[in-house]
Chain A
């Protein structure tokens, strides 16, 4: 089993739609959690941190459920520019940073 798992998609959604991504992690001792975005042939970029209390940044909302070892990302009012691969990231012991398998989003006009 992979340490960090995501539904690979692709998720094809119309502009303006709301889309949700999920991520599960296997190590209960994991310490910090993040969502990254990766555009085609580019390096990943930090999108937002994930906290148990929830974290909102404009159209993006991230949530952590430690008991279920589950992380989510919600994107409201999808834009064409949101098309990318979304990566769940977990930081564990010795500062090991593990990326999830990634979920591809394609927003359609």
Chain B
């Protein structure tokens, strides 16, 4: 079983609020990822990190920001939430070996912005 945790699992919040979605893993994985997925739709990579103090933007333009100060922690922040941010956010990690494709996913954070 994967040791990667996301909080909160569900969040309903008003427009304009600042939100931080937490993601932590205890596997010592270097690589971490944030994906956004609407029900029945494809996964969009929004941010990723290949190690401490490294972060990269993904393919989907996002108003969110991330940080990677510690290996195990990769929080995602929205400074001012809007209804268009309503979605499911999935965090994942994988070990540093080049050809290891297995991503370990958290259970997701389902965000609703009113």
Q: How far is the CA of A97 from the CA of B56 in the complex (A)?
A: 12
Given contacts A43-B107, A44-B105, contact A96 B99 (CB under 8 A): no
Chain A, range 8-58, C-beta contacts under 8 Å to B? 31-34, 36, 41, 43-44, 46, 49
Question: Would A99 and B101 count as touching, CB distance under 8 A?
Answer: no
Please give the number of chain B residues whose Cβ is less than 8 angstroms from any Cβ of chain A in the complex: 25
Number of A-B contacts (CB under 8 A): 60
Q: How far is the CA of A95 from the CA of B58 in the complex (A)?
A: 11
Question: Cβ of B5 < 8 Å from any Cβ of A?
Answer: no
Which 9 pairs show the lowest CB-CB distances between chains A and B?
A43-B105, A34-B101, A99-B43, A46-B102, A101-B42, A95-B50, A95-B31, A32-B99, A102-B42
Residues of B within 8 A of A (CB): 30-31, 33, 35, 39, 42-43, 45, 48, 50, 56, 58-59, 90, 92, 94, 98-99, 101-103, 105-108
